[in-house]
Structures are given as C-alpha cells and as structure tokens.
Amino acid sequence: MSSEAVRFEATEEFARRMDAEDPLRHFRDEFLFPHHQGEPVIYLVGNSLGLQPLKAKSNVLKALEDWEKLGVEGHFRGEHPWMPYHENLTEQTARLVGALPLEVVVMNTLTVNLHLMMVSFYRPSGERRKVLMEAGAFPSDQYAVASQVRFHGHRPEDAILRLTPRAGEETLRTEDILETIERHGKEIALVLLGNVNYLTGQAFDMRAITRAAHAQGCRVGFDLAHGAGSLHLSLHDDGPDFAVWCSYKYLNGGPGTLGGVFVHERHAREKTLPRFEGWWGHDKQTRFQMGPDFEAIPGAEGWLLSNSPILQLAALRASMDIFDRATMPALRRKSELLLGYLEFLLDRLPPGFVHITTPRDPKQRGAHLSLRFRKEPRQLLEKLTSQGVLCDFRSPDIIRAAPAPLYVSFQDVYRFAGVLERHARD
C-alpha cells in the first residue's frame, strides 16, 4: 500500500491501528533503544547512526570466543571461519542493493572506497577531465573529488562541475541534471552523485542519469550513504559503473563499521582497468603461493586490499540478517508510509513554524525529511533531546528526522509531531 492510498488521521488511535496492521512491526523488538526517563526514546537519527541489533553483541562475542579457543586456527575453523567471513554477507548485500553477488563486496569505509573507485574510474584525458557532482554534496565527497583532481594535475575550480538548484529552489531538477550532462558530456570523465542528498533528502533518478552519462561516454558512480538500506535499489539494472556506501546509518552495523562497494559486472574481468592492489584481492586459488604478480579476483572482490576486521563484520551480519528477512521492497513501502504520515502531521502545525525542504514526491526522496524551523533550530533540537526525541542538526539551519522503518513506529511519528506542536504554540 502506498502513502497516497492511505487516508491519514491526526489521532493516536490511527497511529496505533497502523502499527497493529504493520507486517514489519515485530522487527522493532530486535533492536536496542536508548532510554529517557525509563522509556525508549523516539529515535529519528538512523540516517546518522542506526540502532544496535540484539544479536550484534552475541555475534561479536562468538568471534572473540573463537579467537580465545582457536587462536590462528580461527581463520579456518569454527562456525564462521575468518578467512571467508566477508563472504557471509555477499549474497545478502547483493539482494539489498539489487546487484549480482559478483558485483558487491563489504570492505573498508565509504571515503576509502570512494578513493579506490576513483583510481579506477576517474581517468581524465585530454578535454575529458571533469567531474560532475552536486554543489551540496557531503563534504567528504567534495574533499575526495578535489584531492583526486589535484592528484591528476588539475585544479578543482576548473575540473569540477557543480550542480546547483534553480534560483529560489532547494533541490535539483532531473531535467537540469540531464541537460548539464548533454551540454558538457565531452568534457566529463565522471558523474558522481549521492543518490540521496544528505542535506535535502532528495533522491535522484539513477537510471536516467546513468544512461544519459553513458551516452556521452562518461563513467558514473554513486554515493549510497543515505540510500543503502533506505531505497529499493536496482544497481545492476540501472547500470552505474560503481557505487559505494557506509553501513553505520540505515544498515545498523555500528559506529565506523565497514562499508560496501558495487562494481558493475561489465568490469568484472577488465584486466586493463587501473586499480590500487592488495593481497586480499588476489585470486583465491593462488593467493598463498605468494607470487609477485597480482591476479585480481573477478568482480568487486578484486578491489579488496586486506583481510577483513572480523568483529565489525560480526556486528554488521546481525543487521544484514534482519534486512534479508524484512526485504527492501517491504521496508521501502513502510518508509514511504512513515514519511507520508510525518509530512501530513507537520502540515497541520501552525503556519510558518516549519518548512519541509525535502521533495514532496515519495519517489524523489530517501528515508528522512529535512526540516527548516522559523527560529532557533539548535535550541529546538536541545529541547527535543531533553524530552526523549533524538533528531540531528545540519548546518546552517536544518533538523533532519529519519523514521527508519525497521524500528520506528507510527506512534513514534505521532508523538514526535505532538512534541513539535507543543513547542509551536509556546
């Protein structure tokens, strides 16, 4: 059921009914909530750090127990030997992002992976040396791109094309992105976008952008930091050359945990593609022959550098097991309902109190709403926190609210709106 098909009501009874009819409601019990005055908080910051799955601790303790009892033999023995441990997440990750198992790997952190991908897919040559990205991209992406551009001997002010909204508008139009690609296509080496903008919550049309860029001979990559675990993705069919993401937001892997990489199947055996190489990306059949020449594992695993941090993988595996049972299509349906309900309730607040900067179209947004309040958003955030409501602030004046569908209820959304209404009338 889509949000457009539901007639929302601004009552607690309605929220309770939605929760009772929610087929995913039992997953909430598989997460640990911080508490405020003895009650679970209203946790709307899953876009910053997801909650801890109940089984994360036992998974990590099991890995520690194997280390205690098996020592180095833990690499080859035990229920989940460490040598292939990252492979336990491969098929789940592929289903999560709409890819083939060959196309994904869990490794490193987001910006490390972005650099590794740009080594392979940002290859400026002649007049084709520019990177197209959002002017409002997350700072880490901007820093990474600028440093890669300088590494190739170019100046960021010359080699980076920045997409900006039209005057008086807050988000980008798809037609403007496509027109920019067509107009500057012969100059663009790489199109790199966050598929959901961290500040506005806008989700981009990945398939249309990818096809337009490829038609101009450009490579295409996406930062899925706010898309992996929140959108129903189809990376293989959409066809970008690569994508990268983190796992500590919607994927609930724990603070600073490993991220993920997608490399499209067409590059799986592309031996001439430049890359930074490491032992763990070497062909598994001959890895321990310790030869001097690198032979990449076909697919995304060929970009692995080092053996994986097992404790991080163990924690992430707890959440990925939940995602696999819940399925992304079902989670996305609930996410659209939660956001639609929040939007409905916010629209009923006193005029001028809050402005939603995120697109109204459910197909053009991720899993959070960005809210601009008429005065003192930082002070409002402090008041919310003091009342057991956790959101986050992003400069200059945005409070973000992310009702992650695995563990946020419709009653949470209703109570959040009620707290805001009380402050609006102060």
* 131-167 pLDDT tens trace: 999 999 999 999 999 999 999 999 999 999 999 999 9
The list of the chain residues with pLDDT below 50 reads: none
Cβ atoms of 98 and 92 closer than 8 Å: no
Angle CA(191)–CA(365)–CA(187) in degrees, nearest 5? 15
CB 200 within 8 A of CB 357: yes
Q: What pLDDT was estimated at residue 296?
A: 96
The CATH class for the domain spanning 3-32+327-424 reads alpha beta
| Distance from chain centroid for Cα 193 | 12
Supply the pLDDT for residue 3: 64
Q: What is the pLDDT of residues 293-332, one digit of tens each?
A: 999 999 999 999 999 999 999 999 999 999 999 999 999 9
Q: What angle do CA 126, 127, 133 make, to 5 degrees?
A: 120
Find the helix or strand (DSSP H, E) in which 34 lies: none
- Residue 345 token pair: 């309730």
Q: Could you tell me the pTM of the whole model? A: 0.96
In the chain, CATH 3.40.640.10 covers 90-321
> In this structure, how many other beta carbons lie within 10 angstroms of the beta carbon of residue 177?
21
Q: Where in the chain is the domain with CATH 3.90.1150.10?
A: 3-32+327-424
Nearest to 246 by CA among 338, 140, 160: 140
pLDDT computed for residue 2 by the predictor? 60
Max CA distance (Å), the chain: 72
**Which contacts qualify for 171-180: CB closer than 8 Å, 24 or more apart?**
171/197, 171/200, 171/202, 171/357, 171/358, 171/359, 171/364, 172/134, 172/202, 172/204, 174/204, 174/205, 174/208, 174/209, 177/204, 177/209, 177/212, 178/208, 178/209, 178/212, 180/132
Please report the pLDDT score of residue 140 as a whole number.
Answer: 97
Residue 157, pLDDT score: 97
Distance from the Cα of residue 254 to its chain's centroid: 14
Could you tell me the fold of the domain covering 90-321? Aspartate Aminotransferase; domain 2 (3.40.640)
Closest listed residue to residue 345, CA positions, set 54, 24, 127, 18: 18
